[in-house]
Chains A and B, each alone.
Chain A
Amino acid sequence: MPNAQTVRLALRRLGKQPGFALLAVLTLAVGIGPTTAVYAVFRQVLLRELPVHKPGEFLLLAQQSAYDTGSLNSYGGSQELYFAAPAYRTLRAAVPQLAAIARQPVNFATATEALQVNAQLVSGNYFSLLAERPALGRLFNDEDDRIHAANPVALLSESFWRSHFSASPAVLNLRVAVNGVLFTIVGVVPDEGFMGAAEPVSLFVPEAMQQAISLGRPDTEDDPLARWLLVLGRVPAGSARAQLESRLNGSWIAWRREVLHTRADKISNPAGWMKTSLHLTSGARGITLLKQRLGTPVLVLQAMAALVLLVTCANIASLLLARAAAQRSEMAVRACLGASRSEIVRSTITDALLLGGAGTAAGVALGWACLHLLLHMFAESDNYLVAALAAPWHWSVLLVAASAGVLTSLLFSLGPAVAHARVSPGEVLHSSHGVVGGTAARARGVMVAATIAGSLVLLLGASLMGWNLYRLSTTSPGFTPNHLLTFQVDESATGASRQRTAEVYTGLLASIAHERGVSTAAYAHEGLLSGDQMGSNISVAGRPNKDNDLEPNQNWVSAGFFKTLGVPVLRGREFADADTAASEPIAVVDQAFVRAFFDGDASRALGQHFGFGSGSTTSYPIRIVGVVPTIHEDSMHSLPSVPYLYLAYPQTYGKQSFFGNRHAAHFYIRTAGDPATFAADMRLLVHRADPRLPVLDLATMQEQVSGSIADTRLLAILSSALGVLAASLAAVGLYEVLAYQVTTRRREIGLRMAVGASRARVVRLLLGQMLRLTAGGLGAGALLALGAARLLASSMADLVPAPPLLYLGAALLLLLTALVAALVPARRAARVEPMEALRME
């Protein structure tokens, strides 16, 4: 290991070449910064464990069955993780260290404010299983399980308590309305729930209260065919998991058999129903919603950042090799004076470690700054991206930065160390003719080619992402997003009756339409581009169902919806005020629907009847009155994969959505001027309609559209930045190598001129060198990119390949950069005066 003396000497050496040291530190920072920043996000999205005591001890139960039936209410994660409440109770009787949880977004209203928050329903033993202590008041216990539906107590999460109640102890015994039902706050708990940073939980209520806040959904507490609970367990390290698993399987199979008996009418495949097993999966990270949404893009980014780090390594290695060549005579003199090889190698490594340390520190600072910049840029986009970018700088992030620094410095000091170790004392006696380290020069060439290869891969990646962003941002959503404002309210979630809900929406719509500057307004149950969908199978009158019939998604929309959104009605008409609950049920369908059920013939679809469900008892009450184009209902990335049908909102109050009687309303307001200026008015109007009604997702439609492609934009921006970074590094590396060549090959260049080479010829010599390195790099890069493209195509199916010309352009850009980098040394070579260069040494 280097001692103080070696370090002092190394510092002095570096101090004598501040330009070199600065360049090396900056280059390293540029390599380590992105790697560190992306790793912080990577950890947040893919590795972060729940902030609980010993997260590694947590398990999530998963079931695998050949056949299942009944309903499933999922809010993320694999479907295998969801259990019916009776199943949980049976399993818990066999293994006490199990708890159950579920998530539900709820309306949360105090006397002064109303919000939509995430609530987590938990079994009474949840907190004792987590070994959590209340920050205030009490937590739940087994008692809270017992009083089915009559125990309206709630806990606040500590962060919600701090942000919304200023950490006031007065929240204890406060009465709040949760989905319109009064609850008493009995405590505050330092827990953020099981869904990770993307969906932090603000409120905990006993799982036994599920029915009270479910807005009219049937009580599933005793329904063995309604799966909605996650079952988690805690197994101390070292105890026998296999044993636990078999015990659980025993009671699981017994329970399935019992259900098979009691619910025989509902289970059409008894053999498949019994072909089932339970297994334990890790619960250390909870339900990884962030990973599901952003896992692949973040992985891609991490790979790109790693590539930049490699490019940086190659670049610095080349820099240090040049310095090693320059220091060769110093090393030879030292070898003459009796320095051992190991001492010489040690001093080289000390140099590298010092540079590595400084570069790492600068890189961490750079990465931190970049991440904050990104967070600032994307603060408005969506909470998943924000949650990912708001990654904390955990010690492991710093560890990654430090190991990247140490590893790269050791790696890049290897070349120079070997070069130095080979210096023999005898070399001092020879004055070399500028053939310093032929192998070192070749090694530098390889390094430069490698940086070019890496840059090409990154630039091609950037082209791909850039193209996808371009395509998405130029894709018409199918409606006209400018001059459109949107927000969401949900009167039904305040516990209001259907009639009251309908009145509030109608009144609100009327008051909005009266605003000066508003041309039209409408509302729909599902928000456009929100990703939420509801669908069910249908049967068309006079058309036999087929096995491969698609299940259309549906949305419920008010009169004038299509006009407000700027969607043309291709055939027939859209909904009007006259379409009420009392009038004939009607629907508007999209072109995909016409293709799926009427062979694409819109005129045939008009006037036809259909009904929901299938089978002999199906009726066909709904008449098709209009056909509209297929629009980007749920995502900008692709058109819906299934047909869409639209029902008249007033005719849907008898229907149940996934959340029972929930009838949300996404309002769309077409304005004359800048829609953003109407935001405050909208809040005011909603407040007048119902002071307890929270306004959600208030934004212009343009913001929504660009928000829905924010992850693609992030990828495009970051990959371009990394690509440009790597290309600049490659250019700097190429410039250095060529400039160094011109210096060391002055004599050769002079001689070539003296025996007849023209200046143009000398320039060509240098450019030829550049071309060879660049071509080698481009070739290798293209091969690497092909491999990377394979991987990408399999993991990011949404991506469409860019036109080949764009890729060619990226390669040309790199070539051009290389040319510019070579121009200065080439011109310097052309200015060599043979007479000067050949002056006797």
Chain B
Amino acid sequence: MIALKQIERSYKTGAAQTFVLRNINLTIREGDFVTVMGPSGAGKSSLLNVLALLDDEWRGEYSLDGEQVHALSRKGRAELARRRIGMVFQSYHLLDDLTVAENIDLPLSYKNLPRAERQAMVADTLDRFQIVGKKDLYPSQLSGGQQQLVGIARAVIHSPALLLADEPTGNLHSAQAAEIMQLFRTLNEQGTTIVQVTHSELNATYGRRILELRDGWLTRDTAPAQGASGVHAS
């Protein structure tokens, strides 16, 4: 589903160029559940941003679902992301002046969907995440775990093929974290490909494959190397 070839990402800091991703080659199959680990500053979020098509400034080749992302225009990438990708954030990023239901509806509001269909999808998702009773509350009235639940519901409402999560449980205590991870596993079992970033070994156990980044290099991959997507050890 995902194939990265020689992905590089750097920031200009003054005169120097700092590389945060170096020569990343990676294949992720449909239905995979991948955990990205590594020390702070290793480039995990940077990688996720590339995968999420939020970042435009990398070099290399990236194919998603057969689409050659590197050849797409900015608009084309946004369109692709809108259809295929959902994102979950560490600090949830819910909009404070929208209700739970409105927050969940947000991605749909940017698609040309009939109103009735949208309402049905929102109702369906609220139901699936068992937060129907909270639909008219505002984010500030929810606990952290509940907020992240809403964040995930928002990320998957349009049934993306790829779910990306950057430290989704970073702000939660362990019981809440376990709940979220269980939810991820269920989503994965239902067919969603998941890439999560985490510092937690425990969270990693929910996934099937672990990648490790250090200083922008991909240093470990628990999946068996296959073809060009293998790990080039430094």
Contact = CB atoms under 8 A, between A and B. Distances in A.
A452 B48 CA distance: 46
Nearest to B83: A756
A467 B106 CA distance: 50
Given A438-B97, A840-B90, A752 B54 contact: no
Contact of B110 (A433, A748, A756, A834): A756
A838 B93 CA distance: 8
Interface string A823-841: 0000000000011001011
A670 interface: no
B110 A747 contact: no
Contacts of B81: 756
Size band of the A side of the interface? 10 to 19
Contact of B93 (A751, A756, A758, A761): A751
B82 A756 contact: yes
10 contacts: A435-B96, A435-B97, A755-B87, A755-B106, A755-B154, A756-B81, A756-B107, A756-B110, A834-B54, A840-B45
Nearest to A745: B95
A754 interface: yes
Interface of A: 433, 435, 438, 747-748, 751-758, 761, 834-835, 838, 840-841
A754 B75 CA distance: 13
Contacts, number: 42
Given A747-B93, A835-B49, A840-B90, A754 B54 contact: yes
Given A752-B106, A756-B107, A840 B97 contact: no
Contact of B78 (A433, A758, A840): A758
Given A751-B95, A841-B91, A761 B49 contact: no
B110 A754 contact: no
Interface string B93-106: 10111000000001
Query: 8 closest Cβ contacts across the A-B interface?
Result: A756-B110, A756-B82, A755-B107, A835-B54, A751-B93, A435-B96, A757-B110, A756-B107
A435 B93 CA distance: 13
B164 to A, nearest CB: 10
B55 interface: yes
Contact of B55 (A753, A835, A840): A835
B206 interface: no
Contacts of B29: none
A835 B75 CA distance: 16
Contacts of A433: 96
A761 B87 contact: no
B111 interface: yes
Given A755-B107, A755-B154, A758-B75, 15 more contacts: A433-B96, A438-B97, A751-B93, A754-B52, A754-B87, A755-B110, A756-B78, A756-B81, A756-B110, A761-B110, A834-B54, A838-B89, A840-B90, A840-B91, A841-B91
A423 B91 CA distance: 25
A748 B97 CA distance: 10
A748 B102 CA distance: 14
Nearest to B48: A835
A434 to B, nearest CB: 9
Contacts of B75: 758
A840 B78 CA distance: 22
B49 A756 contact: no
B197 to A, nearest CB: 11
A105 B87 CA distance: 90
